[in-house]
Structure 1
Amino acid sequence: MIENQSILQTDSGRKLRIEDQIGSGGQGIVAQATDLGSGKTGVIKIFKPQFDRDAVVQRIRFLIDLKLGSRCSALVAPTDSITTPDHVGHYSSYIPGHTLFDEFADPRLDFSQGLQVALCLARLVEAVHSAGIAYGDINPGNFLLVKKGDHFEVYAIDLDNYVATGAPPPFMVGHPEYMSPELRQGMELNQSALPTIQSDRFALAVVLHELLLHCHPGLAKEIRKKVLNKPWPTGSMILHASAEIDQSKGIILPTYWTRTFVLSFVEAFLITCQERPSATQWVVALSSALGRIDLCDVCGYPSIIDASKTDCPVDRHAYPALKFVVRSTNRTIPISKEPVAVGRDDLVGLPTSVGTTLQ
Structure 2
Amino acid sequence: MKKQILLTILISLFLIALAGASIFLLTKYQLKLAGDIAKLFSSKTSVLPTLSPTASSTAQEIAQLQKEIDELKKQPPKIIYKTVLTPASSSPAPNLKTQEELERAKQQITSLEQRLQELQVQKTSGSQISDADLIKSWQAGDKVAQVACQNKLLGSWQLGSAVLISPDGKVLTNQHVVEPSVGTLLPDYCLILFGKDFDAVSQSYSKEYRASIAGFFQDRDAALLKIQDILYKDQNGAVQTMPVSGALPYFSISTSTPQIGDAVYVIGYPESARFAFSVTKGIISNLTSDNVYFGTDAQIDRGNSGGAALNSAGQLIGLPTWKYIGGGDYRGYILNINSIKLL
TM-score, scaled relative to structure 2:
0.21
Q: Higher relative contact order by CA 8 Å / sep ≥ 6: 1 or 2?
A: 2
TM-score, scaled relative to structure 1:
0.20
